[in-house]
Amino acid sequence: MKYDIVLAGVGGQGILSIAAIIGQAAVSQGLNVKQSEIHGMSQRGGSVVAHLRLGSAAIKSDQIAPGSADMVLAMEPMEALRSLEFLSPAGVLISNTTPVVNIGEYPPLPEVLSALQAHANSHLLDGDQIAKALGSPRAVNMVLLGAMAAFLALPEEILTAAIRELFARKGEAVIASNLKAFAAGRAAVN
């Protein structure tokens, strides 16, 4: 088994937490993991990308080559479009639809979304709206993680255990709201 995921978003949207949860879950299943994250100047509202590779055999490269990812997961639609070059033609695209408009001339959102929909296997969801409706507007990344879960070869209870572990220090209430967000995201793609 081999599964390559490109995670894209804007600095501060929590893609590294998603990567950490999936990575931890995969390790607990005895899989090999490589997770590459470019940080540096990016914590301040710039584009961020992480490459997450899972495999039953040893994984060589830390990077996923363009055109070969099994999944692109984006917290933001224009960032989804930016990372589309990594996706293999048969790959799954999952993207949040709420834009982060922190640049002067953000492209017309409907055009961005239809460019994403043009990909054969795309799943777009409004993670911000779903998280807000649950009363946990900051858990958008867990909504998106839930949406991914439908396609990952990792049992859901292993993922939820990794969520509990990641948020363990923040208390039961935080764990519960993140798990709810995860479940809502899971339900949003079927």
Chain residues binding another protein by CB under 8 A are: 10-11, 20, 23-24, 27-28, 32-47, 51, 59-63, 65-68, 78-79, 81-82, 84-85, 87-89, 102-108, 111-112, 115, 119
Q: Is 169 helix (H, G, I), strand (E, B) or coil?
A: helix
- Nearest CB to another protein, comparing residues 78 and 139: 78
Give the span between the Cα atoms of 190 and 171, in whole angstroms.
31
- The CB-of-130 to another protein minimum distance in angstroms stands at 24
- Nearest CB to another protein, comparing residues 42 and 129: 42
- The CB-of-143 to another protein minimum distance in angstroms stands at 22
Residue entry with tokens 């054969």: 120
- Nearest CB to another protein, comparing residues 64 and 188: 64
DSSP assignment of 22-41, as one string? HHHHHHHTT-EEEEEE--SG
- Nearest CB to another protein, comparing residues 103 and 187: 103
- The CB-of-106 to another protein minimum distance in angstroms stands at 7
- The CB-of-133 to another protein minimum distance in angstroms stands at 26
- Nearest CB to another protein, comparing residues 2 and 187: 2
Give the span between the Cα atoms of 149 and 156, in whole angstroms.
7
Q: Rounded to the nearest 5 degrees, what angle is found at the Cα of 145, between the Cα atoms of 174 and 63?
A: 125
Residue entry with tokens 């798990």: 179
Q: Are 109 and 140 in contact (CB under 8 A)?
A: no
- The CB-of-180 to another protein minimum distance in angstroms stands at 26
Pairing between β-strand 47-55 and β-strand 2-10 as defined by DSSP bridges: antiparallel
25 alpha carbon, distance to own chain's centre: 14
- The CB-of-99 to another protein minimum distance in angstroms stands at 11
- Nearest CB to another protein, comparing residues 34 and 180: 34
Q: Are 185 and 146 in contact (CB under 8 A)?
A: yes
